[in-house]
Structure 1
Amino acid sequence: MKALVLAGGAGSRLRPITHTSAKQLVPVANKPVLFYGLEAIADAGITEVGIVVGDTAPEIERAVGDGSDFGIEVTYLPQDAPRGLAHAVLIAREFLGDDDFVMYLGDNFIVGGINDLVERFRTEGPQAQIMLTQVSDPRAFGVAELGPDGGVIGLEEKPERPKSDLALVGVYIFSPAVHDVVAGLKPSWRNELEITDAIQGLLDRGHRVESTVISGYWKDTGNVTDMLEVNRLVLEGIEPAVAGEVDAASELIGRVVVEAGARVEGSRVVGPVIVGAGSVIRDSYLGPFTSIDRDCTVIDSEIEYSIVLRGASLHGVGRIEVSLIGREARVTPAPRVPKAHRLVLGDHSQVQISK
């Protein structure tokens, strides 16, 4: 069995962060989301992995390399533009050959890995195995309809009138039978080759499609709210570890990780929190569910339930919460008089200002 990982999307819902960075590399608990998926694939015993890349290919390739750090062998598959999930299968035809394969969306996060899904596929031998989860608004997802016996009888992509509340999670397993279906697909109303149409095509040809409704945790980390929620979930599982420097005037409470080379001076840190290597926390408060990446500076500030990316700095800015602060960003106080805000904002930015 091989794996096909999709890492070519534009990440429009995470702008402006993704104007300069691949969405799959935005860190959760100081580790890129993509890495969690690659680790899950390796843990399932899959070593041959194709990664579909687009405009951010150089950044993805620098981060992942040849895959040896994950115990896998990586082949990069260029895609000229995001043209749908089934299009990724189409361009990966030569790489996949006649092997079964896992298709994993690189910006998805699934607690518990994929071992059980892979084992079930190998044991039961369907032509497709999909994961489903209940969602509050299925109109935003691919949706599966199940028959009275629980079998999959139909699928739709982002339907106006969903026939169920069961959304497809971003992990699929296919047999080579899917290639003949994908080769004959026509673009949808979104002008994309939809994976839901490919699965429906398998059903139409009499092939067996099995589903698993997961009760565990799944998130598509495509927006800031979901990124912060996944960050919270991962931080819930960390164990306290202090490899950096913490002075006597500082207080660490609960599960706090201070990586080697980081310094905490005159500050209060209430976990779960992780402070990355090379970062400096001085005369500040770090509240629960906060990730501070490498080489950041937080001085005379308070921050909680937030993600701070590599090289960012906060100086004397009072309290910040529920925020995603990009690489090398600078957050400083505004002049007290006149009372005004001075902003330099990129396209699609969102700013909340307290009066």
Structure 2
Amino acid sequence: MAGPSPALRIPDPPFARTEVARFDEPWAMTFLPDGRLLVTEKRGRLRLLDIASGRKGEITGVPAVAYGGQGGFGDVVLHPQYASNGWVYLSYAEAGSGDTRGAAVARAKIAFSGDGGRLTDLQVIWWQVPKVTGQGHYGHRIAFGADGKLWITSSDRQKLDPAQDLQSALGKLMRLNDDGSVPADNPFAGQGDVAAQVWTLGHRNLLGIAFDAQGRLWTHEMGPAGGDEINLIERGSNYGWPRVSEGRHYDGTAIPGHATRPQFNAPEASWNPVISPAGLVIYSGQMFPYFHSHAFIGGLSSQELIRVEIAGDSAREAARYPMGRRIREVEQGPDGALWLLEDGSDARLWKLTPNPG
């Protein structure tokens, strides 16, 4: 069910905003079972926020990150069985030889102490190969499916053509077991090496990933000059970058549209002018019953929260809510509230609840 029930009135505007805390270049967040919040900061800090008291501490022992441009500390996600195994998954940009960099994913446990703690048992379980020059388009959003598989977005690092090369991790969506090993049922498992990790290819810069209530996987990605996309992920599919796009290269050079090359998987919705999407959640809570199964996307350049209605395998933009600043991350809280992180320094953490009006 995609649209709101006719019996449910959506307030206008639908949200009341409460500032909860501020962070330095936050990138991602996730809630712990006890209600505290883990927040990554791009320079390489993992913060722990006690929302009830407002106390903010730090989890030490984070891997060294390659900070600069779009690179640094990335996502943070709990294992589905975190309550029993304690695994926390982290992504980050990692320096290589010379001037090269690439994304990495590690898992660790947290030894909590007071307002903070430290990482223990750190294991790096995935590397984005090859490491290349530049400081853009790492992707490294991570998610778990209902089957316990680990999904990693691996963006094109602004190198374009490797997105079509199955022996490069660039421009791909990866599917792994929770320990980093390769599932035998991946679509290209028989090709071995990097290809065995790949679920889909032909992506540009994937900065949002979420499962809906039916278990379907959705991602969004930044297009070039125009053509931001939201995609329903289909096993083994090629999404076309850089052969097709709904936008143009930054120098104005045209790119054929998806309609001209039907062998490539076209987006379910696209944006031009762009919104610069970052962060994605598909709502499943009770606080906003009229938004069940709707996707919420943070807009960087648009400085908005974008709501997308999903109906089966289709999607369309339903509304935009101005936020006055670049929105980096969107999450659903344990009580069903929506939580937003602004981008950049002195960035606010907002809690969104229903507007009583």
Larger helix fraction of residues: 1
- What TM-score results when the alignment is normalised by the length of structure 2? 0.30
Larger strand fraction of residues: 2
- What TM-score results when the alignment is normalised by the length of structure 1? 0.30
- Answer with 1 or 2: which has the greater Rg: 1
